[in-house]
Chain A
């Protein structure tokens, strides 16, 4: 059976002594696991936010009439009747002035200040805009139509870059954890060199010896990654429950159920990676001997 090595006999367990908690490996893996958990959650949240934002703006357009429009209602009605338009929202002048007030102060309420008119509308995906543009220009010749996606494009690109950066960091940290396991495996081999020589001398195979180390590495990695993942989950829960802070930080980003499953699987994936890497390191080191 493939997992026989995990259930070593008491005699086999005694061969490497009982030094599981003395080495730094579980703690190094715990730190890696904690970091991976937080960074992976951030990456997934960013991906979800970017996805929501993309879906929200990909079919949304704005009609802007620079000097305002007396016929705003007619424009909105024309848009509503256009084929393929799914929703229309004319932004009231009062709301435009309130928005401008943030930059201009009370002057934004002055009747002398020309305020542009704005109508947002959504279309079915893939719809050609030319007929709509013609309808709009027939009512307001100076109107400009712009896609929301163009406006939030730089933000989305930044979010996507951060998301990939997070996933890259997860890979880097996993590689660092694997490197730590290789070093730990080599250290364990050095510590037990005399035991290995005796075992080889009496006819133990590389696999018999590897299973002893593999089991210890797997248990260390499992312990470390579970501790790290538990600490990471706690921090994520605290962030999620601190609505004011978390809300400001991630803009209400959420994790989907599949994301949570992926995060919960991280300790097991990290353990499997560490065990495999440790096994390869031990086998490679044993092959250097006769």
Chain B
């Protein structure tokens, strides 16, 4: 990418005062399901536009719940969330779809539509956004080729291996160049080589301005991303309550 373009992108990520603009801000956010206890509590942090974040923590710490808040599948039960500069924690549900279109999500369980081909699954975000079939064909074929599934375009998810399904899910999440990419254990079902390629894809998207949040236990993935920042959850709260925790991988320290 040339320097001018990179500079322009960086400028858009900065506020008037030259500070990097927040793409997501959590203010005293808590979440509980039904009448149970809080699965997330007192979350105060901000994600900077164009940042690359790893979300870590033990199983049950609330990583998936935090991601759900980020990709607007859940409202907080208390506190406020601002996404893309808009207060969305109590926004009317009709106003949410345009924001969701700016978010790419890689689910832990893939969530592919079983009766659609890999091509149709990847094309979904573009179709929802109103792209024509002519506009869809090229990018989807290119994306499928990139994740190594060019010859599996017409295969349906039940006929794909776990790793192949994972790659389709990732292709679907990034096909429309989202502003925010949220991935829940994206390398859980792929081999080391594919994990490296996926990380490369995430990094490339990040360089183009996409904010990336990856929930993972994969130490190798974290170690391979020295520029990334860490958010660690424990028992539903930030391990560093100031939200400023930086826990660089060993290789970077």
Contact = CB atoms under 8 A, between A and B. Distances in A.
Interface residues of B, number: 30
A206 B111 CA distance: 19
A11 B97 contact: no
Interface of A: 9, 11-12, 14-15, 17, 194-195, 197-206, 208, 287, 290
A11 to B, nearest CB: 6
B101 A202 contact: yes
B123 A203 contact: no
Given A200-B97, A290-B72, 5 more contacts: A14-B115, A14-B116, A201-B105, A203-B125, A204-B128
B127 interface: yes
Given A11-B120, A14-B116, A197-B111, A202 B125 contact: yes
B111 A203 contact: no
Contact of B100 (A14, A202, A287): A202
B115 A199 contact: no
B120 A194 contact: no
Nearest to A209: B128
A15 B128 CA distance: 12
Nearest to A197: B111
Given A15-B116, A194-B113, A199-B124, A287 B93 contact: yes
B73 interface: yes
B124 A202 contact: yes
A203 B129 contact: yes
A197 B110 CA distance: 12
A64 to B, nearest CB: 76
Interface of B: 71-75, 93-94, 96-101, 103, 105, 111-116, 120, 123-125, 127-129, 133, 172
Contact of A199 (B93, B94, B128): B128
Nearest to A289: B93
Most chain A beta-carbon neighbours within 10 Å: one of B99, B113, B125: B113
A201 B115 contact: no
B74 A198 contact: no
Contacts of A17: 115
B108 to A, nearest CB: 13
A195 B115 CA distance: 10
Given A14-B115, A15-B113, A290-B75, A204 B97 contact: yes
Contacts of B123: 11
A15 B111 CA distance: 14
A201 B73 contact: yes
A287 B100 CA distance: 16
Nearest to A17: B115
A190 to B, nearest CB: 15
B115 to A, nearest CB: 5
A204 B99 CA distance: 11
B68 to A, nearest CB: 10
8 contacts: A11-B120, A11-B133, A17-B115, A203-B125, A203-B128, A205-B94, A290-B72, A290-B93
